[in-house]
């Protein structure tokens, strides 16, 4: 076997600070490393493996499609992506879907759609998109510009123009940013994931919708991380009772295969026309067959289970000496600990539990179907690791 740690260092671009762990196989929420040590996984490849590793039903859907064909290009009709688009529209009330391969691309499409909608309706000078301070929308030059965190910007200037940042949960600041600029849209995550698992207040989200209405702006929800059942609803915006004009999603949609989707509502369903946008791999049959399996399994019962498990985790952790606070929504939780988050993560890893970080917090993103006994075992390890 190759020396994976050294070869990785030698041949892989140096963009990731990896844990000293090579994962080789898993089943559900259990996964083994190259030494044969087993872990309970509460990270799901950053909210991607919706039903854990190599879930049987999911795997069969993928294998069945693999046996038919793997790719067609968008020059031809293809059943898996049509089926998935229909399913997404029926479950959300949105009208049209554009498929891509990642969260950043799903957001690129959302931004292009918003710019074109505003240009068609109000004039091309109405191109500013208001996003939030501490947001995360992706790593391309445009989605970096949308990301309201200077640390991500500094070495890559100039970024795409036309983004301004309002403070989260600050209605006056949002109003001011909208008034000071010629705007097309307001774009936000209902729970800022990379920013520290911070949910927006209901009052603020309602204000976004009201301000958008008053100023003829589109409402764009970035559901890349919060989407596909993770928040305890199919999409997190549903927890706030709002109807966005555009929804972007990716991570958990295909349960572990690359996909991005941009959902367009009534206002924007006709905005993009022939050759306005495209993606070679977008709507890939394998990814779409996987996503059809994932989305059709996210029903009321599963979502109730997500909310129940969420409450269990919150209740268990809140009373631990060493836990300052628990925040988030559904199975997307952030824990503020008295110890350094990295120390808690390492102790968990040593004791067979995988958790990750978001800013200064320990972040939990377990599989939506994690069995109760495995969750309990993992939370007990985590509680011990947090204790001071
Ligand atoms: C992860 C993430 C992205 C970027 O997704 P990629 O697939 O890495 O391009 C965008 N927005 C949010 C909210 C995310 O969590």
Mean pLDDT of 83-94: 98
Mean pLDDT over the full length of the chain? 98
Residues 33 and 64 in one domain: no
Residues 233 and 376 in one domain: no
Report the separation in Å between the CA atom of 322 and the middle of ligand 1, taken as the mean of its atom positions: 30
pLDDT for 363 equals: 98
Among 297, 315, 333, give the residue marking a domain's end: 297
pLDDT for 102 equals: 98
Is the full-model pTM beyond 0.75? yes
Report the separation in Å between the CA atom of 150 and the middle of ligand 1, taken as the mean of its atom positions: 17
Residues 31 and 69 in one domain: no
CA-based torsion, 180, 186, 191, 194: positive or negative:
negative
pLDDT for 260 equals: 98
Among 290, 325, 313, smallest CA distance to 377 is for: 313
Residue 321 has pLDDT above 80, yes or no: yes
Residue nearest to atom 6 of ligand 1 (CA): 103
Q: Domain of 355?
A: 4-54+300-386
Report the separation in Å between the CA atom of 255 and the middle of ligand 1, taken as the mean of its atom positions: 15
What are the DSSP E strand ranges found in 10-135? 23-27, 30-33, 38-41, 96-100, 128-132
pLDDT for 1 equals: 64
Mean pLDDT of 47-56: 98
Residue 281's pLDDT band, with cuts at 50, 70 and 90, is very high
d(CA 15, CA 240): 36
Per-residue pLDDT tens over the stretch 249-261: 999 999 999 999 9
Among 232, 263, 297, give the residue marking a domain's end: 297
Write the CATH number for 328.
Answer: 3.90.1150.10
pLDDT for 313 equals: 98
Among 276, 297, 318, give the residue marking a domain's end: 297
Residues 64 and 83 in one domain: yes
Ligand 1 pocket, residues with Cβ under 6 angstroms: 102-104, 107, 136-138, 189, 193-194, 222, 224-225, 250-251
Mutation test of ligand 1: which of 135, 137, 253 has the most ligand atoms closer than 8 Å to its C-beta?
137
d(CA 208, CA 333): 24
Residues 115 and 76 in one domain: yes
Residue nearest to atom 8 of ligand 1 (CA): 103
Number of domains comprising the chain: 2
Residues 8 and 84 in one domain: no
Residue nearest to atom 10 of ligand 1 (CA): 137
Atom of ligand 1 nearest to the CA of 192: 13
Write the CATH number for 84.
Answer: 3.40.640.10
Residue 7's pLDDT band, with cuts at 50, 70 and 90, is very high
Cα-Cα-Cα-Cα torsion 367, 368, 372, 377, nearest 10 degrees, comes to 30
Residues 340 and 247 in one domain: no
Residues 108 and 12 in one domain: no
Residues 222 and 342 in one domain: no
Q: Going by DSSP bridges, is the β-strand pair 246-249/218-222 parallel, antiparallel, or unpaired?
A: parallel
Residue 2's pLDDT band, with cuts at 50, 70 and 90, is confident
d(CA 326, CA 89): 33
Residues 308 and 225 in one domain: no
Instruction: Show Cβ contacts of residue 244 under 8 Å, excluding neighbours closer than 6 positions.
Output: 219, 220, 221, 237, 265
Residues 200 and 339 in one domain: no
Per-residue pLDDT tens over the stretch 337-347: 999 999 999 99
Atom of ligand 1 nearest to the CA of 260: 7
Mutation test of ligand 1: which of 250, 358, 365 has the most ligand atoms closer than 8 Å to its C-beta?
250
Any idea which residue has 């004791």 for tokens? 351
d(CA 325, CA 94): 36
d(CA 328, CA 317): 13
Residues 217 and 308 in one domain: no
Among 369, 101, 136, smallest CA distance to 254 is for: 101
pLDDT for 49 equals: 98
């Amino acid at each position: 076997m190759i020396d994976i740690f050294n070869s990785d260092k030698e041949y892989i671009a140096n963009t990731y600070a990896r844990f000293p762990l090579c994962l080789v196989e898993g089943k559900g929420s259990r996964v083994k490393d190259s030494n044969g040590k087993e872990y309970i996984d509460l990270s799901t490849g950053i909210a991607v493996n919706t039903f854990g590793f190599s879930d049987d039903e999911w795997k069969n859907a993928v294998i069945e499609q693999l046996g038919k064909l793997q790719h067609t290009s968008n020059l031809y009709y293809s059943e898996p992506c049509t089926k998935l688009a229909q399913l997404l529209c029926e479950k959300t009330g949105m009208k049209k879907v554009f498929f891509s391969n990642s969260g950043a691309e799903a957001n690129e499409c959302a931004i292009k759609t918003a710019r074109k909608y505003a240009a068609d309706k109000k004039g091309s000078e109405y191109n500013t998109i208001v996003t939030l301070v501490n947001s995360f929308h992706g790593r391309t030059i445009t989605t970096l510009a949308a990301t309201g965190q200077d640390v991500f910007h500094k070495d890559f200037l100039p970024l795409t123009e036309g983004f301004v940042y309002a403070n989260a949960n600050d209605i006056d600041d949002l109003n001011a940013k909208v008034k000071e600029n010629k705007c097309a849209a307001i774009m936000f995550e209902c729970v800022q994931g990379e920013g520290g698992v911070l949910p927006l207040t209901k009052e603020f989200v309602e204000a976004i919708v009201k301000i958008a209405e008053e100023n003829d702006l589109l409402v764009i929800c970035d559901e890349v991380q919060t989407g596909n059942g993770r928040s305890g609803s199919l999409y997190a915006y549903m927890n706030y009772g709002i109807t966005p004009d555009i929804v972007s999603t990716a991570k958990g949609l295909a349960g572990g295969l690359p996909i991005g989707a941009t959902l367009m509502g009534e206002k924007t369903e006709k905005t993009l026309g022939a050759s306005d946008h495209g993606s070679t791999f977008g709507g890939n049959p394998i990814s779409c067959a996987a996503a059809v399996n994932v989305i059709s399994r996210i029903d009321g019962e599963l979502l109730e289970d997500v909310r129940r498990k969420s409450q269990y985790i919150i209740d268990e952790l809140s009373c631990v000496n060493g836990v300052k606070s628990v925040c988030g929504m559904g199975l997307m939780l952030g824990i503020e600990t008295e110890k350094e988050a990295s120390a808690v993560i390492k102790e968990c890893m040593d004791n067979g539990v995988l958790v990750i970080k978001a800013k200064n917090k320990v972040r939990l993103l377990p599989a939506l179907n994690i069995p109760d006994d495995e969750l309990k075992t993992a939370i007990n390890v985590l509680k011990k690791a947090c204790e001071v």
